[in-house]
Structure 1
């Protein structure tokens, strides 16, 4: 049984992905199901997180978002039957690659896939859906009449976040960094309140957002990285990121900033500004659902709701063309280097 793995040869060495052959499947325990994988999404590996929680391995399995058909169930499985179509996210400590033809997984990591949802759409939405729900429901409480700023809205995650916010009645502003991304967002329905193209330097993020909100500021900001300080040696991609002070300036009274910047540092003037506004900062780490099983029920309800909204047309994922298994290694190298814009999905 072949699968894709990341091989750690030595510290600091460039990422190395390899195809390994596994002889036998793990034993099918009472609460596990055997799944024939039909599609698997590729997502960037957070090596720093795995190192901090002591989960580094010589061969780290690749491909955690999977969709497929149940072949066999354990004696105590109550949620699924053979031939059920399922979708889910493998746990962080999984020893199996989602790019194997058949895998064994605990039933509490899976939900039913709606019939009219394709395999590619299911796995291409579920991870970004979890991130969007975590950011907009559990960290910032999006609701009608609120204004949301989504940085880099044409990314696979930004697209799902925009659609979830609009479904909840929020007014959405988004930034883009290319003409292609701008044209993509313009095709979304319902239309966004404003699309700010930062690629040509004509539009100032702060001025545009304050103009759109009548000077009141944005209720929720969902970033895609920030600049902690300015330096001459920064790359073009870093230069396009907003400065932390700009984001704080944009926040409304009682606003929420949801950040993906895990090393965020605030200066005393920034903290003072947040205090005066009564604003808050939350850190977006969607892996908390798998790092703790205290809220397993909420997690499964979230996965089911994501699939329901995908089935009803609320979500339309930003997918690339399906990738054959023999190209998975090259595609994963591009994903790890942040060289892809659309969600990469391998079709088995």
Structure 2
């Protein structure tokens, strides 16, 4: 961190001035934000990466055109607080997800967050582990528990179960007492069984809609034709929850025809959810698998790896 002649505090941040591949990412000095009412300034120690980061980098997505600083997951230390913040003080270790999609900016040395988007970092987790959890855990919790109402004994199908959201969803579903079926390439089956998956299906070799039936809940992390096809494995009254918010009307029409439910969701920043996630992590019931860590200066390399879609678990950026 440096100070300019006008005493404006600056920080290093991963920015981009154009859309495209990882090569558009640039590390530069930018003005450091200051917390406003009910906001917290966090000195970021680690920041998670998610597929939404490479999608927004390449297309702009919800954010439109650059310049912008990506990143929603973070773990770090409270630097200062705005007026009205009662739950945190400078020096507190916190973690959370910036409001999605417009609260981005965690891929920097400092980030401002609404106080109610954060919670105290579990002592059992280091900053890398903590930074890997928020977005994927909130996504899994909100889809499986809050939207689908998952109860013990229910049968759950999780697509791309070894991915960021998927491998966390397996753990949450098992903690809720569900019977878990996961799809993944054959090389990742052992990993999923270690997490507690009851059945694992190689989607490359098997048509899931023919191999699975009488499912209560499907967590669809892929979208497209997978959303519609997944409706066919449900028992009457079952539900497919897709975390891809866009798609064709066929998804809903087919669900109505089959007598099942079809829902699309977008993850939301939520303190109650973060407290639950922290408690699960502290109890040893929830942990992110780290596919790799990269210093902020090497973020483009992390994006290249993420673009392959073949990682198991989460990628995380670390700050010096």
TM-score norm. by structure 1 comes to: 0.79
Q: The residue matched to 1:187 in structure 2 has which SS?
A: helix
1:134 partner SS: helix
- SS of 2:40's equivalent in the other structure is strand
- Matched with 1:327 is 298
Q: SS at 2:305's partner residue? A: helix
Offset, 1:94? 4.0
Question: Within the alignment, does 1:280 sit opposite 2:261 as a pair?
Answer: yes
Between the aligned partners of 2:61 and 2:163, the Cα distance in structure 1 is: 27
Q: 1:57 to 1:277 in 2, by over 3 A?
A: closer
For residues 187 and 52 of structure 1, what CA distance do their matches in structure 2 show?
Answer: 35
- 2:90 maps to which of 70, 82, 91: 82
What is the aligned partner in structure 2 of residue 234 from structure 1?
Answer: none
1:65 to 66, 73, 78: 73
Match of 2:212 among 201, 206, 209: 209
Residues 1:8 and 2:18 are matched in the alignment: yes
Instruction: Name the count of aligned residue pairs.
Output: 304
CA offset digits 1:269-302 (Å, max 9, x no partner): x846x3464310000321xx25xxxxxxxx2101
The Cα of 1:82 is off from its aligned counterpart by 1.7
Could you report, residue by residue, the CA deviation over 1:177-209 in whole angstroms, capped at 9, with x for unpaired residues? 232x11211222xx322111233x2x4423432
Aligned: 1:127 with 2:110: no
Quickly say closer, same or farther: Cα 1:117–1:256, change in 2 above 3 A.
same
What 5-or-longer segments of structure 1 have no aligned partner? 211-216, 229-241, 291-298
CA distance in 1, matches of 2:253, 2:110: 51
Distance in 1 (alpha carbons) for counterparts of 2:232 and 2:39: 50
CA RMSD of aligned residues (A): 2.6
In structure 2, do the counterparts of structure 1 residues 8 and 71 end up closer, same or farther at CA, with 3 Å as the change threshold? Answer: same
> How far apart, CA to CA, are the structure 1 residues paired with 2:157 and 2:113?
37
- Structure 2: state its 5+ residue gaps: 1-10
SS at match of 2:287: coil
Determine the structure 2 residue equivalent to 1:32: 39
Residue pair 1:160, 1:317 contacting (<8 A) in 2 also: yes
| Residue 254 of structure 2 corresponds to residue 254 of structure 1 | no
Query: Structure 1 residues 159, 243: closer, same or farther in 2, change over 3 A?
Result: closer
CA-CA distance at 1:57 after TM superposition: 4.0
The CA distance in 1 between the partners of 2:149 and 2:228, in whole Å, is: 22
In 1, are the aligned partners of 2:182 and 2:200 still within 8 Å (CA)?
Answer: yes
**Partners in 2 of 1:94 and 1:243 — Cα distance?**
28
User: Within 5 A, what are the aligned runs for 1:116-195?
Assistant: 116-179=124-187, 181-188=188-195, 191-195=196-200
In structure 2, the CA distance between the partners of 1:183 and 1:163, relative to structure 1 (3 Å rule), is: same
Q: Does 1:318 align with 2:289?
A: yes
